[in-house]
Amino acid sequence: MGVINMQEKQYLFYEKQSLAAFWKTSMLAEKIFLVCWSINAVLMAIIFAVLTPMATDRGTAIFIFTLVWVLIFPGVLWISHRLVKAYWVIFKKEEVLRHGFYGQLKQKKKISYDEAAYILTGEAEPFVTPRPNLGPWYHRKFGDYLNVLDAQKHCLFTVRYSQENLNLLMEKCIHAQLMDIQTYRAKEKNH
């Protein structure tokens, strides 16, 4: 196990990998999506190639078809890539720098370690995700997460589980209570 670089971004939902690594490690739904997306891109290019000679103004048709194709296929993939890459935390000496959408706002926020009241561990899915209700999906893809909550039980930040991350949080969040996710949920049900 390595030592955490305190200034390094810890991406929550993103891993840089080659297409071969993606194909080897991705879930079946992602592979199906990639194949269908590629087939649609090729079919759309063929349709544009067939329709362009039929247009009255070929130059305009080529421009519009090319623009539509670029926006629909590479453009949407780029936006999706930027969205998942926008969620990260950086552990600093005195605080955590958190980035991502929390509620309806894109936020970059500094959070003091002293604000942490609970550190949830175990088979935990992320409390914050790029798309609502996809915590279980990201949990299956990336494994367990650590969720750090304040005294009012609002999520301060989420980070992927690793023993190094847990050790760092236990060291820095001296007032926080370490709690298993199942114990936390049982306590929430009883209240």
- How does DSSP assign 5-71, residue by residue? -TTS-EESS-----HHHHHHHS-HHHHHHHHHHHHHHHHHHHHHHHHGGGSSSHHHHHHHHHHHHHI
Residue 3 lies in a domain: no
Instruction: Say if residue 102's pLDDT is above 80.
Output: no
Q: Both 110 and 167 in a single domain?
A: yes
Task: Name the domain boundary from 41, 65, 85.
Answer: 85
Q: CB-hemisphere CA count at 13 Å for 46? A: 6
- Provide the pLDDT for residue 184: 85
**68 pLDDT higher than 90:** no
Determine the pLDDT at residue 11.
93
Do 106 and 124 contact (CB within 8 A), yes or no?
A: no
Q: What's the whole-number mean pLDDT along residues 42-55?
A: 88
Instruction: Note whether residue 105 is domain-resident.
Output: yes
Q: What pLDDT was estimated at residue 80?
A: 80
pLDDT digits (tens, 9 = 90+) for 122-158: 999 999 888 878 889 899 989 999 999 999 999 999 9
- pLDDT for residue 4: 65
Tokens of 27: 């879930």
pLDDT score, position 1: 46
111, two tokens: 């959070």
Domain assignment present for 61: yes
How many distinct structural domains can be found in the chain?
2
Which residue range forms the structural domain that includes residue 180?
Answer: 94-190
Task: Examine the domain organization and report whether 76 and 112 are in the same domain.
Answer: no
Q: Which residues are paired to 157 by β-bridges?
A: 148
Q: Which two tokens stand for residue 165?
A: 């991350």
